[in-house]
Structure 1
């Protein structure tokens, strides 16, 4: 005769997952996908600063890749303002659509 804990006994056959457990499991799996921020070399930082300055000066669109622990985000627009105190740039994407992005969060920039 088999045990109740094995061979599809009472405990083995009565599995269920509560919604709270499922949410906790999915949150845990998302945390496992988190990645660290890449370290940029000095040349890459200069290229980013040059693209930002050129977009600000010439009012041409620039694409900024902003770091996110799960998936990077590309933002395209014109640099309208540079705040050196906060180390952030204001990028305008439309008439009233703009974002402030910290320079430390930008991993790539291209015109």
Structure 2
């Protein structure tokens, strides 16, 4: 047997390569696997969220909000700006010019600070 074939695994070393497209596909798959389903809240949990939201709306109290968007949970500290019961959305004011609108069904939690 020649010395070339006795190198064990080194014979196949040239086939070990990662194209940028491969790396991008692996990263995209890993990000896709991190996605989570939207929250499923029952009536009691929705009522508790509503109580805290209405306190924030009435007294301009800052609150912690966690909501679902595009497969991920996002957090913010804001004050409730408006509750629209017809479209089932809540608007939060993060800063002087930043308003975030979230559907009620996508809210995970609202907590007092």
Structure 1 length normalisation: TM-score? 0.82
1:88-99 aligned at under 5 Å gives the runs 88-99=89-100
Greater helix share, structure number = 2
The number of equivalent residue pairs is: 107
Aligned residues: CA RMSD = 2.2
For residue 62 of structure 1, what is the aligned residue in structure 2? 63
TM-score (norm 2): 0.80
- Mean CA deviation greater in 87-96 or 14-23: 87-96
Alpha-carbon distance, 1:37 to partner: 2.4
SS of equivalent residue, structure 2 residue 77: strand
CA distance in 1, matches of 2:83, 2:74: 20
List gaps (5 residues or longer) in structure 2: none
Unaligned runs of 5+ in 1: none
Which consecutive segments of 4 or more residues in structure 1 shift more than 6 A? none
Partner of 2:108: 107
